[in-house]
Structure 1
Amino acid sequence: MKIKEYRTQFIDTLTPIYDAGEAESFFYLILEEKKQLKRIDLALHPDLAFSEEEIAVWNSILEQLLQEIPIQYLLGKTSFYGLDFEVNENVLIPRQETEELVDWILESQKSKVESRKVKILDIGTGSGCIAISLAKNIPNAQVFAIDVSEKALATAQKNAQINTVNVTFINQNILETEDLQQQFDIIVSNPPYVRNLEKEEIKKNVLDNEPHLALFVEDNDALIFYKKIAELARKNLSENGQLYFEINQYLGKEMVELLEKMNFSTIELRKDIYGNDRMMKADLSV
């Protein structure tokens, strides 16, 4: 079968679940991964065809997409902040909003003296996307990353190798941690923050496939991770250290109040590209 013909069939099959543009983007992502062909190649060579074996592979992927398994898990990889990351069912798929958080941290470092060592801790690292992106883009950064999941850390370690950066990974339950044992200039976290009451807002492909351990918190204690991390930051941030969070869009006011009560200063709440309260920065008052 000609690839162009299969493309039409592929998109038509998916459009009851996905919009046509998204279905088409899936087709070209898979085409590049499985056959090393780009859109332009298909335009220049309209007679290119799939073998029967290739069609069998594509039909298997198509069936999984119909079950709303994320394309990133099917391909085993994704892109974040211009870098390649391996992803699987043990880690969340990195989001564009989290790229904005990384960008904010990097922006804050531009005015710093480049020769100065910067010690960074990423709490709940998952795929390692935040820690690795910071290690890649901040000269002289010494980066540490914590996660409770050994499987997530194994994936993060692979991603550090893929992107040729040195990150110290630590298997640790942050809720059971009383002291981080050293001082950091920056502590950043994108912890679980989706309340169970918000599950109905979560797309099926996320709810059925991404690790709930990294997503959900109890309705009656939605800020449990933020409280704990802020307490640790009070002890383990260096003078003029900075604390960064990705947050639940519905709890921006509560987050500001939490950090104010804990005597953080210069608290700033930022919206993401979609106009939702999504990230925070606070300085350690001394």
Structure 2
Amino acid sequence: MIDSLLFYPPYRFGLIVQIAAILVLLSLGILGLWQAAQSPIGLEFLLYLVPVLLASIFVPLIGYRAYALWRASYFLERDGIYLRWGLREEVIPMDVVTWVRSSQELESGLPRPWFRWPGAVLGVRQLPDGTRVEYLAAQSNHLILISTAERIYAISPANPEEFMLAYYRFAELGSLTPLTPHSVYPANLLRRVWASPFARYLLLGGLLVTLLLLVLVSLYVPSIPAISLGFNPDGSPSDKAPSVYLLLLPVLNSIFYIVSALFGLYLFRAEDRQTLAYLLWGSGLFTAILFMIAVVFIIRAG
């Protein structure tokens, strides 16, 4: 007799959409950075930096959503239901489930999350009676609703009918070892990181040096038209280039800092990988210091 079943959301279309969005944003960011490096300081230069800023903000966000979709699963056994979506996890004992039904069976309209796209229907809404509905789904239709005393969970298994049949079969069998309710939110990970003084100092130190580097270059670039970005074999400064090229250094450093910070968060979840997370955050701080030293040398040589 099968005593557990694992279900996945339909992820193919959502992954295609999100990967395509990442590629478009990266292309626009690279193009904007290239155009900004060849533009004089002014409104045109600032406009070219807009896609770079948007890519820096949204690429990590969409990248996390794509990762969360890829790792999402709904595990069902006679003792309870396990929901997993990225860093969000929920353990629901079978004896606290009041009902499981299709979203089409809900008499009142089911409000969808405000901000959603294929592969990322996430968030919390309220029904007219005040019941909270938490979405952990890849699509807005063909949802399965799992009701508990605290809230309703809206999920999107690829085979909703099979999920319903499996739930009723396990519910009839009854629970052998009642599970303990357990909730994990992304904010829990951030609190754990912040509670570690070493992690806090590394992340804040890297952020501080990154911001100082950006401020230093922003103040210096308008004051001089050209700089030397390298040295000749005899040690003399190479031919000068437009000083706006110097902005590439803080931009590259910012990208490296964001990537190292996010990947470090991913590693920090497991205790046996926390040392790797510290090393990654330390490399982010060390790289920022190296960029700062490079900028100081360039300014002095310029």
| TM-score when normalising by structure 2 | 0.21
Q: Which has the higher helix share?
A: 2
Q: Which has the higher contact order (CA 8 A, sep 6+)?
A: 2
| TM-score when normalising by structure 1 | 0.22
